[in-house]
Amino acid sequence: MTKVSIIGAGTAGCIFAHALLKSDKGFEVTIYSDRTPEDWLDNVPPTGTAALYPETIDIERGLGMDHWSQDMHEMHGVLLDFKPTIDGDQKIVVAGRFGERAGGAIDMRMRVHRWLHDFEDMGGKLIIEAVSAARADEIAAQSDLTVLAAGKGELSRLIARDEKRSVYNRPQRKLAMYIVEGMDEGRWDDRADFNPVKFNFYGDTGEYFWVPFTHKSGKYTWCALFEPKPGGKMDIFDDCKTAQDAVDAGNSFIKEHAPWEWDVVKTGKPVEGDPFCWLKGQFPPTVRHAYGMLPCGKPIMPLGDTAITFDPIGGQGGNCAQRNAKFVSDMVIGRGDAPFDAYWMQQVMDAFWGWHGQAAYSFNNILLEPLTEAGQIMLGAAANNRSFADKHFIGNFTKPKDFFPYMTDVEAALSVAGPYLPQQAAE
């Protein structure tokens, strides 16, 4: 029996594990997790908002892992207020749908909690252990394939950063996230005919979003995510020690700098009974090599955030992590009796990078930078025409390959956006 070890039990590790166990190839699968299922449910914040597009939830559906989307707090698209400068008067508004179907951010704490129990019920072995580098080596020595799905934490350093594919070597934003209830009139009905992810971009300051969030309690809540540029007017979360501190800081910013939505959000309170409904931090977006070579002479393969870590700005990280888990599991299942060696890992990583990773990463990074000239053309057309926004702008968040070359090449942008631009801008 092929012995597969997975270090880290986030969404990527769980999807990978379930996919292997549900194949008819007879894998022996072990997950090493530094958290018990009950820790996941009760004692930690979610590792991210993880708003998922419908195509990503389809992966869970296909594996029989989706037990929540039929009742989720649905997200259908984006309502964006874009201000080039925080103190300027100019504001560009874009509304558009991701597509016909709904996505959603479903609390990963309850998903992982159930998935780990289901994994054991299916015959998987769950070992609760904070794996060290030395233990990873021992685990790999006894396994046919070892996968590192430990997120962006310390152990990910077992696999070197890919200097060519990683663009940044330091965090591009600080991050503060909190989940609130009590915003039930917080649907943005008068501004969008769908339930949006509410984006606010300030070119010189940072960004913040509201994401419809299905809390582990089942409540329909909203998850706020602030992405301050260091030293700017949004950089106010450093001293926060509780969810209420973070909400207070966020509210002070919104009241002054996003008055258009103050009435919608002002009644929001941290979710009752969940002291972990917030987090803050920062990390550099990073792409890792296809494998790390361990002292035992065996390679270890990155999965999910360990393979590609995204700044949350473009809602790509969790979506990519889950696609990556499914993609790699398909490759493992199709491998037959051939070895899971470094050469194979390189081929798989390159194939995933070409299929999805590179486009998702490049698009996400575009959002971290001053908007390209081509991007301004695309944004202008999306602001001016709803069907363009649906088809060529917001609709592409779920399939970032379709953003290219239009977000980087002015001629290409004009070729699709030209007819939709306001007359003056098109000339």
Ligand X SMILES: Cc1cc2nc3c(=O)[nH]c(=O)nc-3n(C[C@H](O)[C@H](O)[C@H](O)COP(=O)(O)OP(=O)(O)OC[C@H]3O[C@@H](n4cnc5c(N)ncnc54)[C@H](O)[C@@H]3O)c2cc1C
Residues within the interface to ligand X (CB under 6 A) = 7-13, 32-35, 47-51, 105, 130-131, 149-151, 153, 155, 175, 177, 211, 225, 304-305, 312, 315-319, 321
Bridge partner list, 222 = 180, 212
Nearest distance from C-beta of residue 379 to ligand X, angstroms: 20
CA angle 44, 47, 48 (to 5 degrees): 130
Alpha helices in 147-275 (DSSP H): 243-257, 262-265
- We find the least distance from the C-beta atom of residue 313 to ligand X, in angstroms, to be 9
Q: Judge whether 10 and 321 are in contact, CB under 8 Å.
A: yes
Which spans in 31-182 are helix H? 37-42, 54-62, 108-121, 133-141
Q: Residue 348 or 377: which CB sits closer to ligand X?
A: 348
Complex with ligand X: residue 188 or 420, whichever CB lies closer? 188
Residue (172 or 319) nearer to ligand X, CB? 319
Choose among 320, 319, 318, 333: nearest CA to 21: 333
Residue 200 · residue 94 · CB < 8 Å: no
Measured from the CB atom, the residue of 78 and 177 that comes closer to ligand X is 177
Q: How far is the CB of 210 from ligand X (least distance, A)?
A: 11
CB of 175 to ligand X, least distance (A): 5
What is the C-alpha to C-alpha distance for residues 172 and 361, in angstroms, rounded to an integer?
Answer: 14
* Paired tokens of 371: 């908007």
Strand order in the sheet with 145-148: 125-128, 28-33, 3-7, 145-148, 299-302, 292-293
Q: How far is the CB of 66 from ligand X (least distance, A)?
A: 16
Name which of 321 and 328 has its Cβ closer to ligand X: 321
For the bound state, the minimum distance from the C-beta of residue 426 to ligand X, rounded and expressed in Å, comes to 34
What is d(CA 83, CA 211) in angstroms, rounded to the nearest whole number? 19
User: Nearest approach, Cβ of 363 to ligand X (angstroms)?
Assistant: 12
Residue number with CB closer to ligand X (147 or 374): 147
Shortest Cβ 190–ligand X spacing (Å): 24
- 15 or 95: CB nearest ligand X: 15
What is the rounded distance in angstroms from the CA atom of residue 128 to the CA atom of residue 9? 10
Could you tell me the CA-to-CA distances from 176 to 202, 332, 410 in Å, in that order? Answer: 16, 37, 34
Query: What tokens does 108 get?
Result: 């990963």
17 versus 183: smaller Cβ distance to ligand X: 17
